[in-house]
Structure 1
Amino acid sequence: MESKRQQKFAGVLQEELAAIFQREGSAYLPNTLVTITKVRVSPDLAVAKVYLSFLNTSNTTLSVAEVNSHASEIRYKLGARIRHQARVIPTLTFFVDDTNEYVEHMDKLFDKISRDRKETDEEAD
């Protein structure tokens, strides 16, 4: 369970990282839209796990690796933006947020279950 302090700081990081990726994201991943879906911060606020979602990319693993290779540069830009709000600029680690893929998979399963039930009901009649 995250504390209020962690949640507030994560919100600030999410906003600022979104602005950085909106303005300068094409330098890291050309022709790809990057969305910051979630930020988790450690209790000491020194480590941040940033979950990303990508549009217009075929390989999300490669995209995350590319963003992680620029993590120190992104951290520097983040530091310039939040230096008056934070004592320590957290170390950033980027991950793929596969929530959308999971939701699509679950929707397909529910549709299949629904179709199977309809077929079973029709056979019973």
Structure 2
Amino acid sequence: MESKRQQKYAKLIQKELGDIFQKEARHLVGKAMVTVTRVGVSPDLSVAKVNLSFLLADPKSTYELINDHKREIRHHLAKRIGKSVRIIPELAFFPDESASYAQHMDKVISDLNIPPAPEEEEEEDND
């Protein structure tokens, strides 16, 4: 269970990282749309686990590129929130698999061959 402080901190980081990926880190991601889907912060606020979702790009290569430029992204984050927080957390990026999992499950369900239920004849009581 995250404390209110952790939740507030996570929400701030999520918002600012979203803006960074749209503006400052545009040269890293190119035309890809990067969405920060979830941020979890450690109790001491020193580590932020960031889940990312990617559109219009190869998720694996974009994820690796972002992971390689972690320091630069953290620097942009520090410029944005440095005055309001004591610690700029270390960033740990993880690809968010929920969209691809939902797509996979949708395909599995649509590929199921379920025969229609037999129609039951209603018996009428003639007493």
Q: Provide the TM-score with structure 1 as the length reference.
A: 0.87
Larger Rg: 2
Listed as ranges, the matches of 1:47-86 within 5 Å are 47-58=47-58, 60-86=59-85
1:120 Cα deviation from its structure 2 partner: 4.2
CA contact (8 A) 1:25 1:34 kept: no
Tell me the distance in 2 between the aligned counterparts of 1:8 and 1:48.
12
Match of 2:45 in 1: 45
Match of 1:36 in 2: 36
Match of 2:123 in 1: none
Match of 1:23 in 2: 23
1:29 Cα deviation from its structure 2 partner: 1.6
Match of 1:101 in 2: 100
1:99 Cα deviation from its structure 2 partner: 0.6
**How large is the Cα RMSD of the aligned pairs?**
1.5
Match of 2:10 in 1: 10
5+ residue gaps in structure 1?
none
Matched residue type, 1:63: T
Identity of aligned residues (%): 45
1:108 Cα deviation from its structure 2 partner: 2.9
What secondary structure sits across from 1:85 in the alignment? coil
5+ residue gaps in structure 2?
120-127
The structure with the largest helix share of the pair is 1
1:110 Cα deviation from its structure 2 partner: 3.4
Tell me the distance in 1 between the aligned counterparts of 2:87 and 2:40.
15
CA contact (8 A) 1:16 1:81 kept: yes
1:64-92 deviation per Cα after TM superposition (whole angstroms, max 9, x unaligned): 11101111011111011101211010001
Q: Provide the TM-score with structure 2 as the length reference.
A: 0.85
